[in-house]
Chain A
């Protein structure tokens, strides 16, 4: 019996595959196509206290092996989420990571309080990394003291696992991992999208209404893997890695670099039935490598020089 379960602090999930926030609606949109209980978790679309309309379209544009988005965190707000979406997620036995976003620390705290009282929430992912909104979010994620303040403030009001989602748009992401750990985070997730832009040269206009957006997809994967690797050296808390995962090998790459679990986002747009394919690939790998527990692979990167074997023999 192959064991794909992984542990994130106090939370054990059946496999390391979590649907990434912003890429899976509120989960219920996919409930007819995917058995939500078979996923490692569902990170729902980022929620503010209030409803938000987000940016005017066009909101996405494709780039080679990737896409830019500037949705602007359109959302139904935490109260409607609890009323309208959470009951179905509970009924479908989904493991729910609620991604929360505020413009002030008080808003994060308020969101954490409200969601801690709601039945069916398994973890809080703190969105301090969305590149597409004017106030809040990334302004905390780009400052070490801001990150520390938000994480510790939320930590103080909830017993749910607290998972800040880090931005790659900083000089040294590992220092933000460290600040999160010191502030009491149970885990970290990374990376959010890379701030980017695309221009229509005929009209000389930006292809997105918001001018800039976040780059995701396979194009960013090597950078994301490197960042997960750097964070693994810096902290002991679990890491949820993401960035362009589309195949089982990509999941394994992140785990070997140091991730305990992963999130899949853009690839779900291309293939909503990706989850079984990824799970099959992971099982196949475990069988070939005679592994019983997938979690054993986390952080097992072998950095010994390849040629030593040649020399010693």
Chain B
């Protein structure tokens, strides 16, 4: 059951002119959160923007004894709400509702988990990596961005023991090109018996390309979709994506309660807004 808390901003670490990591005191949300879930943050005290914004839970903060004390969110300045969050100072309080949404599949952890992130799509993967590593899964991150300066927080994954492949479109770090370049190379080297599950989060064309690669190579793939969301609880029907049901029939499906994580084979990509 989600809770709504007035969360104190503990820190707002600007990573660049666009990106920041916002730390929020929210023990109740932190202790209930599962990998892939999100919170709805009110970015203004007033009515512009009126609605909350969805954010993946980026990290779970813990005290010295290991008890959950809060969460961080990975924010990229794009519109009005994210700009307000970028400017928020410690000591401010933000209404924070969560945890919400369907998490990544926790049943039958695979031997190898490959996480594919584009830009701000890195957000759901810290908690996923932690959960999988704790269960003995080997984790790999493929992380793509336009240029080296846009690759943030890689060290979190390296410290956890995640194998990391970077790709930049200008070639300034890692493979030259899109994140699918190293992913394709690694997929080609996989033995048929290796147990690999792919999870992807990022821009729609990138998720689509990764889902296609996964399908070509016969690998299961989960996507974490980011849609415009009104309420986060299934009330407004604004965050729908066209997804196949058990019979294969496509339906407008709420990404807040049936997602944000979906089996990639369910998604009708042509219908997804870019």
Contact = CB atoms under 8 A, between A and B. Distances in A.
Given A30-B233, A58-B228, A60-B230, A270 B240 contact: no
B48 A270 contact: no
Interface in A261-284: 266, 268-273
B1 interface: yes
B237 interface: yes
A190 interface: no
A59 interface: yes
B240 to A, nearest CB: 6
A67 B271 CA distance: 23
Interface in A240-262: none
Interface stretch (A21-29, A114-122, A134-142): A21-29
Contacts of A69: 230, 236, 238
B235 A268 contact: yes
A217 interface: yes
Contacts of A24: 235
A149 B233 CA distance: 37
Interface string B225-237: 0011011011111
Given A66-B50, A67-B51, A270-B52, A58 B1 contact: no
A185 B273 CA distance: 42
Contacts of A206: none
Contacts of B238: 57-60, 69, 71
Given A59-B238, A269-B236, A270-B42, A29 B257 contact: yes
Contact of B50 (A54, A56, A62): A62
Interface string A217-233: 11000000000000000
Given A60-B238, A69-B238, A269 B97 contact: no
A175 to B, nearest CB: 32
A269 B273 CA distance: 22
Interface residues of A, number: 34
Interface string B13-31: 0000000000000000000
Chain B contact residues, majority secondary structure: loop
Interface of B: 1-2, 4, 42, 47-52, 95, 97, 227-228, 230-231, 233-242, 251-252, 257, 271, 273
A33 B240 contact: no
Nearest to A53: B252
A210 to B, nearest CB: 12
Contacts of B4: 271-273
Contact of B240 (A22, A54, A217, A273): A54
Chain A contact residues, majority secondary structure: loop
A20 to B, nearest CB: 10
A74 B1 contact: no
A178 interface: no
Given A33-B2, A59-B240, A64 B235 contact: no
Interface string A10-46: 0000000000001111000110110000000000010
A61 B95 CA distance: 21
Contact of B227 (A30, A57, A268): A57
Nearest to B239: A57
A292 to B, nearest CB: 32
Contact of A67 (B95, B230, B257): B230
Contact of B252 (A22, A30, A62, A74): A74
Contacts of A71: 236-238
A273 to B, nearest CB: 5
A23 B237 CA distance: 9
A65 interface: yes
